[in-house]
Amino acid sequence: MINLETPKKAGALINQAYQAAAEVFRPISRKYDRAEHTYPSELDMFAALLDGLNSSGEGGAGAAGVRRSGKDDGPKGNRNGANLNVVLGTIEMCWGDVGLLLSMPRQGLGNAAIGSVATDEQLERFKGLWAAMAITEPGCGSDSAAITTTATQDGDDYILNGEKIFVTSGQRADAVVVWATLDRTKGRAAIKSFVVEKGTPGFEVVRVEHKLGIRASDTAVLRFENCRVPRENLLGTPEIDTAKGFAGVMQTFDNTRPLVAAMAIGVARAALDETRRILTEAGVGIDYDRPALTQHAAAATFLQLEADYEAAYLLTLESAWMADNRQPNSLQASMAKAKAGRTVVEVTLKCVELAGSYGYTEESLLEKWSRDAKILDIFEGTQQIQQLIVARRVLGKTSAQLK
């Protein structure tokens, strides 16, 4: 059974991540929010430190994914492993700044895809690569199964053609994990993921988007025109298994959705911490031993926000713990992502409101966090998509039966 207390062995990692967030991320947070599209050079040295943490086997504090083992080679009983460590580290880092975390070299969401479905040979070959993730297209919206980018086999290569939008770190990353279909007539079962390295002929960064939030992170539009990719860069198996569908590439989301939920939790906690400080200085006490309705209205609101935060936090820990213990976590990953995404938007906006005019100005980071929060309810599957996935799982319906 899951223990909801933070594992003692994760204490050192959490402390390291918090110190980095407080001493590295938070001081430059506003600087790179204003200097959109400017690469935060302060991250280079810190990225090397995270590489060391990841290679140690303890799990780093960044957004890189972790690989699941299909064999039972560990001790029996509960295990608190790399999935939980990465989630806990991500929470701390995003307490500092989520946009800066998304800008970290070699900590991209594409790395989580590689960690999920790559072969051992591919893991070694792509080691040290900074990989972005390219899924969304102009015409497919939130439906990942509606991919139109094609991958046509030509000898020992695949030829990619298509366009991807809203690619986080699409300009800065060393490579992009691209979702493409091998045969559009066979539906979602034919969708595979390919590692396309920068500099590959036919691969073009069209533009970098201006955004509401996470401005420290670049978000690019990519185009692939007769882009030749080696067959060895296809992640997983090239066979089209209509019975299995595209469960292989979708396994990526089982890793990344808890991470995005963790990002949302980190931002929400940052807003709650700052709001608690503001309320305390204003003489508004928060008493956990008294009913909320007997307290100041601001305190009662704060307690409600904190309860939602705790629910999202525990759902996220559960989804990561299940991955560490080799339990299918697709339902829990979507529940955590849905709850955390909605909670961070509500918490940050309400914290701006509780802080009054101060929360709306650039004197405080509250207004920035309220802008950063919205993307965490959108990418890696929108709020509506997560609720749809949860409904299908709970009701036992297929995607064709419940749309």
DSSP of 146-170: G---EEEEETTEEEEEEEEEEEETT
CATH class assigned to 8-125: mainly alpha
**d(C-alpha 243, C-alpha 245), whole Å:** 6
SS3 228: strand
- Residue range 247-395 in CATH 1.20.140.10: yes
What pLDDT score does 61 carry? 44
- Average pLDDT per 10 consecutive residues for the chain, totaling 403 residues: 77 91 96 95 78 52 48 61 89 96 85 83 91 90 82 97 96 95 88 95 97 96 98 89 59 82 98 98 96 96 97 95 89 97 98 97 97 95 94 92 90
- DSSP for 290-341, written as a single string: S-GGGS-HHHHHHHHHHHHHHHHHHHHHHHHHHHHTT---HHHHHHHHHHHH
Give CA–CA dist 16/85, Å, rounded.
12
Measuring CA to CA, how many Å separate 281 from each of 275, 277, 305, 366? 10, 6, 19, 16
Give me the active site residues, please: 380
For the chain, the domains span 8-125, 131-235, 247-395
Strands 157-168 and 219-230: antiparallel
Which residues neighbour 399 within 8 Å (Cβ) at sequence distance 6 or greater? 145, 392
Q: State residue 251's pLDDT score.
A: 67
Q: Scanning the structure block, which residue is given the tokens 């967030």?
A: 21
Q: Residue 242: its pLDDT value, please?
A: 61
Choose the CATH number for 131-235 among 2.40.110.10, 3.30.70.141, 3.40.50.300, 3.40.605.10: 2.40.110.10
Among 233, 228, 241, residue whose Cα is nearest residue 154:
228
